[in-house]
Amino acid sequence: MLTERHLQIFIALAEEQHFGDAARVVGITQPPLSQGLRRLEALVGAKLFERGAGGVELTPAGVALLPYARRALTSIEELHQAAVSRDPEGPEIRLGLAPEVPPSAGAAVAVASGAVIPGSRVTVVTASTSSLINQVNTGRLTLAAVLHPVVLDGLEAGPVSLLPTWALAPAGVVDGEVVGLRQLKGLPVAVRPRTEAPAARDLFLDTLALHRPTGGTVVVTDERAGLAMAAAGQAIVVTADPALTAPGVTRHRLADDPLPLRLRLVWSRTRTPFLRPNDVMAQLTEALVAS
Amino acid 22: pLDDT:
85
The CATH code of the domain that includes 182 is 3.40.190.10
The reply to whether 107 and 240 lie within a common domain is: no
Distance CA 8, CA 270 (A): 8
**pLDDT tens-digit readout, 119-170:** 778 899 999 999 999 888 888 888 899 999 999 877 888 889 899 999 999 9
Least confident among 78-82, 140-144, 174-178: 78-82
The reply to whether 213 and 133 lie within a common domain is: no
The reply to whether 138 and 67 lie within a common domain is: no
First to last CA, the chain: 47
The reply to whether 55 and 131 lie within a common domain is: no
pLDDT at 220 over 80: yes
**Are the C-beta atoms of residues 188 and 236 closer than 8 Å to each other?**
yes
The number of beta carbons lying within 10 Å of the beta carbon of residue 75 is: 11
Phi (first) and psi of residue 237, to 5 degrees = -115, 135
Could you tell me which residues come within 8 angstroms of residue 277 by beta carbon, excluding any fewer than 6 positions away? Answer: 156, 267, 269
Q: For residue 80, name the pLDDT band (cuts at 50, 70, 90).
A: low
The reply to whether 154 and 278 lie within a common domain is: yes
The CATH code of the domain that includes 33 is 1.10.10.10
Which of 68, 85, 102 terminates a domain? The answer is 85
**pLDDT tens-digit readout, 50-76:** 987 778 899 999 999 999 988 888 887
The number of beta carbons lying within 10 Å of the beta carbon of residue 6 is: 20
The reply to whether 80 and 105 lie within a common domain is: no
Phi (first) and psi of residue 90, to 5 degrees = 85, 165
The reply to whether 125 and 187 lie within a common domain is: no
pLDDT at 276 over 60: no
Amino acid 84: pLDDT:
53
The reply to whether 255 and 194 lie within a common domain is: yes
The reply to whether 67 and 100 lie within a common domain is: no
The reply to whether 138 and 282 lie within a common domain is: yes
Which of 85, 104, 125 terminates a domain? The answer is 85
The reply to whether 209 and 274 lie within a common domain is: no
Could you tell me which residues come within 8 angstroms of residue 139 by beta carbon, excluding any fewer than 6 positions away? Answer: 268, 271
- Sign of the CA dihedral with 79 first, then 81, 82, and 84 last: positive
- Angle (CA) 94 223 220, round 5°: 110
**Residues spanned by the domain of 152:** 92-161+262-290
Amino acid 85: pLDDT:
53
Closest CA to 156 of 137, 172, 138: 137
Q: For residue 116, name the pLDDT band (cuts at 50, 70, 90).
A: confident
The reply to whether 97 and 231 lie within a common domain is: no
pLDDT at 90 over 70: no
How many structural domains is the chain composed of? Answer: 3
